[in-house]
């Protein structure tokens, strides 16, 4: 059999094209499938952006708003364009979170997740982990929201530099500068643990 | 620490929340409310405009609730509305007539051609093809009434096609349909999404009794294998009383029997050959190249990713963990196939709406239906020659005709899957599993324009 030249595959973790087409036609089952498919990355991003900023309670609200906005704009989403649906959704979520961080006052619930993880444990390993989590949390707190978003979109969600820059509406140079500062802050925090 | 280490350790220590249970349901409820609230904001305006519209709407409603009927012979692709629930996208050469009752029940007569139907849920909706009724309640499907000439394109169908005037091919994309031949209400089958069946009309001239169509509900990338069994179950040849017959009559009868034996042997050889879709010898591949012939196996790729048949996995003693791995590979390859097929379909038709609406199985059929015989033959020849080592595939195939690219894509599905399996599970396991994972056998054959 001859070798077959096939275009680069759509990443297998993206919603299949038929379901996406149905979601664009506003079919309930397809819209629900879209939420189920992308809720984890959206929650992961929003919780990391918001939780240490005293806004953990808002994560679900903003996740919900992300999907509602996506459904409204979905008919205009260009399936033949370069943007992946996941990138598009994470961009919506990022902008919602950044707006939230810029416009509202935080509540006092910093480090609640880190504390929850370690509060019942006294073993050495988990004590070390607690220290790491606390250090990272403080380093993250010291980052600006834009730096946090840049780092998360690039490192946790694997977006290209171009996609992250587009999501944050900055040029590539600014983005790389933000990423560099975020990594430097996290490097210092991690090296202090040694 | 390099950047990767920093990212990994930082993210590991940076907690991320999981979605709470029921989140998707809450989003859907909020979406419904959102639609509702937007609707309420428009109420005042709607009331103002509504008064003027009511009279018009009442007139339109009355018109919509009246029984409607129509009749068309199409010279190009056309979308036809069938009452309030049905939509038909019919290709050139289609003959349709329809009657829709005031309640929305519909009966469509399709005597020829190729029609894609989308029907919303409701009362009875019947598409009547020659000798065959397709009844649906809410679904998306295609009915093709093919002439013998079209059917013969497929090698398997050619074995049986000579006897039939036309063949009805039903493909279901969503929902279910019930299919019933006119002679005998008890003779019916149901097809679900992703399934396809071929039906030969019960015309007296054919003499064929292909009901139930063997493997009627097989999931296929191309027309199913029903024709093979039709050949096997064909009625016994007519016999001539020989007692007291002259030597000339006896010799004629012997010749006739010898011809039938030769014909049946050839058919049987083809049947056996068709069950084999890989591991061909160089001589066989050369023969295929001369006959513009492709034979291939594939998983049931389409809108739903195929899975390793549990029964086959059990027979092959494949552990559950490996079955899961295989299913992941099948899902990834399914996405890849669908994407490649969509690109090819768009290149061949430029029909973006169709690409959004159809799954890859439908696209295969549509491209076959829209491509000229010359191009199909050329595509078969090109790929068959590549298989035989008589030509090389181009480095960039995008300028080739879509049908050639499609044949090459289908032709390579099995090898590509085996390669992915081998990379993950090793060559031995890949070889052991590939037959079970590629049950959809397809053949394209013939170089008709080469014949004098």
pLDDT in tens, B288-347: 898 888 888 888 888 778 888 888 888 888 998 899 999 999 999 999 999 999 999 999
Determine whether the interchain pair B17/A187 forms a contact, defined as Cβ–Cβ distance below 8 Å: no
| Mean pLDDT of the residues in chain A | 78
**How many domains does chain B divide into?**
2
Give the range of the structural domain holding residue B346, as residue numbers without chain letter.
282-450
Return the top range by mean pLDDT from A144-158, B39-53, B237-251.
A144-158
Decide if B31 touches A, using CB distance below 8 A.
Answer: yes
**Hey, how many other C-beta atoms are within 10 angstroms of the C-beta on B275?**
12
* Beta strand pairing call for B125-129 and B106-119: parallel
DSSP one-letter string for B176-202: EEEEEESS-TT-EEEEETT-EEEE---
**How many domains does chain A divide into?**
1
Give the range of the structural domain holding residue A141, as residue numbers without chain letter.
17-192
Residue B67 token pair = 């029984």
φ, ψ at B129 (rounded to 5°): -105, 175
**Upper half-sphere CA count for residue A92 (Cβ side, 13 Å):** 25
Residue of A115, A118, A113 whose CA lies nearest to A128 = A118
- Select from A9, A19, A140 the Cβ nearest to the Cβ of B14: A140
Residue entry with tokens 């950047």: B3
| Mean pLDDT of the residues in chain B | 73
| Residue B56 maps to a domain | no
Determine whether the interchain pair B19/A40 forms a contact, defined as Cβ–Cβ distance below 8 Å: yes
Q: What's residue B259's pLDDT? A: 62
| Average pLDDT of the segment spanning B29-58 | 61
pLDDT band of residue B144 (cuts 50, 70, 90) is confident
**Hey, how many other C-beta atoms are within 10 angstroms of the C-beta on B370?**
18
Residue B300 token pair = 């049931």
Decide if A114 touches B, using CB distance below 8 A.
Answer: yes
| Residue B408 maps to a domain | yes
Q: What's residue B334's pLDDT? A: 92
Buried b (16+ CB within 10 A) or exposed e, A79-117: eeeeebbbbbbbbbbbbbbbebbeeeeeeeebbebbeeb
Interface of A with B in 138-157 (CB under 8 A): 139-140, 151, 155-156
| Residue B41 maps to a domain | no
Residue B46 token pair = 């709607």
Which of A14, A17, A73, A92 would best serve as a mutation to test chain B binding (most B beta carbons within 10 A)?
A: A17
Residue entry with tokens 């239906």: B369
CATH code, domain with A126: 1.10.10.10
| Residue B18 maps to a domain | no
Are B287 and B214 part of one and the same domain? no
| Residue A151 maps to a domain | yes
More confident residue, B201 or B391: B391
Give the rounded distance of the alpha carbon of A6 from its chain centre: 31
| Residue A25 maps to a domain | yes
Chain B residue with the nearest C-alpha to that of A188 = B6
- A4 contacts in chain B (CB < 8 Å): 393, 408-409, 411-413, 415-416
Chain B residue with the nearest C-alpha to that of A33 = B24
Determine whether the interchain pair A1/B411 forms a contact, defined as Cβ–Cβ distance below 8 Å: yes
| Residue B81 maps to a domain | yes
Q: What's residue B365's pLDDT? A: 75
| Residue A174 maps to a domain | yes
| Residue A5 maps to a domain | no
Determine whether the interchain pair B15/A51 forms a contact, defined as Cβ–Cβ distance below 8 Å: yes
**Hey, how many other C-beta atoms are within 10 angstroms of the C-beta on A159?**
22
Q: What's residue B33's pLDDT? A: 72
Decide if A35 touches B, using CB distance below 8 A.
Answer: yes
Q: What's residue B230's pLDDT? A: 26
Q: Helices A124-142 and B3-12, interaxial angle, to 10°?
A: 110
Decide if A137 touches B, using CB distance below 8 A.
Answer: yes
The CA distance from B141 to B124, in Å, is 15
- Which of B232, B266, B293 represents a domain boundary (last residue)? B232
CATH code, domain with B114: 2.60.120.1440
Interface of B with A in 364-393 (CB under 8 A): 383, 386-387, 393
């Amino acid at each position: 059999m001859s070798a077959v030249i096939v275009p680069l595959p759509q990443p297998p973790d993206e919603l299949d094209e038929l379901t996406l087409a149905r979601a664009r036609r506003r079919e309930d089952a397809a819209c629900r499938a879209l939420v189920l498919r992308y809720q984890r990355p959206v929650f992961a991003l929003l919780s990391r952006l918001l939780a240490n900023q005293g806004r953990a309670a808002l994560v679900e609200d903003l996740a919900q708003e992300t999907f509602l906005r996506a459904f409204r704009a979905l008919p205009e989403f260009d399936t033949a364009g370069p943007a992946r649906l996941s990138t598009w959704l994470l961009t919506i979520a990022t902008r919602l979170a950044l707006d939230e961080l810029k416009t509202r006052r935080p509540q006092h619930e910093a480090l609640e997740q880190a504390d929850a993880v370690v509060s019942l444990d006294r073993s050495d390993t988990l004590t070390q982990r607690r220290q790491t989590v606390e250090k990272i949390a403080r380093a993250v707190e010291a980052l600006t929201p834009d730096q946090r978003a840049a780092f998360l979109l690039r490192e946790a969600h694997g977006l290209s530099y171009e996609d992250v820059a587009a999501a944050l509406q900055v040029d590539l140079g600014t983005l790389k500068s933000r990423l560099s500062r975020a990594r430097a802050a996290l490097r210092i925090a991690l090296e202090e643990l040694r | 620490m390099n950047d990767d280490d920093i990212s990994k350790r930082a993210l590991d220590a940076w907690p991320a929340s999981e979605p709470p249970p029921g989140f998707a349901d809450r989003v859907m409820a909020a979406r419904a409310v959102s639609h509702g609230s937007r609707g309420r904001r428009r109420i005042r305006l709607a009331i103002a405009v509504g008064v003027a519209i009511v009279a018009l709407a009442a007139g339109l409603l009355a018109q919509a609730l009246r029984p409607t009927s129509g009749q068309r012979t199409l010279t190009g692709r056309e979308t036809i509305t069938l009452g309030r629930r049905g939509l038909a996208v019919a290709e050139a050469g289609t003959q349709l007539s329809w009657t829709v009752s005031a309640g929305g029940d519909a009966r469509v007569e399709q005597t020829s051609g190729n029609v894609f139907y989308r029907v919303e849920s409701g009362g009875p909706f019947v598409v009547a093809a020659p000798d065959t009724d397709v009844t649906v309640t809410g679904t998306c499907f295609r009915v093709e009434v093919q002439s013998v000439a079209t059917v013969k394109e497929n090698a398997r169908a050619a074995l049986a096609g000579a006897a039939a005037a036309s063949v009805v091919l039903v493909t279901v994309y969503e929902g279910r349909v019930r299919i019933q031949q006119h002679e005998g209400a008890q003779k019916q089958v149901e097809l679900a999404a992703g399934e396809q069946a071929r039906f030969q009309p019960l015309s007296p001239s054919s003499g064929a009794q292909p009901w139930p169509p063997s493997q009627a509900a097989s999931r296929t990338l191309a027309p199913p294998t029903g024709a093979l069994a039709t050949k096997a179950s064909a009625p016994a040849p007519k016999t001539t009383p020989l007692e007291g017959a002259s030597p000339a009559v006896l010799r004629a009868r012997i010749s006739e029997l010898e011809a039938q034996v030769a014909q049946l042997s050839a058919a049987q050889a083809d049947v056996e050959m068709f069950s084999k879709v890989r591991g061909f010898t160089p001589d066989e591949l050369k023969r295929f190249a001369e006959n513009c012939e492709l034979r291939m196996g594939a998983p049931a790729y389409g809108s739903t990713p195929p899975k390793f048949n549990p029964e086959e996995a059990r027979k092959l003693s494949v552990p559950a963990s490996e079955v899961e791995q295989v299913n992941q590979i099948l899902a990834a390859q399914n996405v890849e196939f669908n994407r490649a097929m969509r690109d090819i379909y768009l290149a061949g038709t430029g029909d973006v709406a169709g690409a959004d609406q159809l799954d890859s199985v439908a696209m295969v059929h549509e491209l076959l239906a829209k491509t000229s015989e010359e191009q199909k033959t050329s595509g078969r020849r090109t790929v068959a020659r590549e298989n035989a080592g008589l030509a090389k595939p181009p480095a960039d195939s995008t300028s080739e005709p879509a049908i050639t690219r499609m044949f090459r894509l289908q032709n390579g599905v099995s090898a590509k899957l085996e390669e992915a399996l081998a990379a993950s599970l090793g060559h031995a396991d890949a070889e052991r599993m590939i037959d079970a994972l590629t049950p959809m056998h397809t053949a394209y054959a013939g170089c008709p324009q080469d014949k004098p």
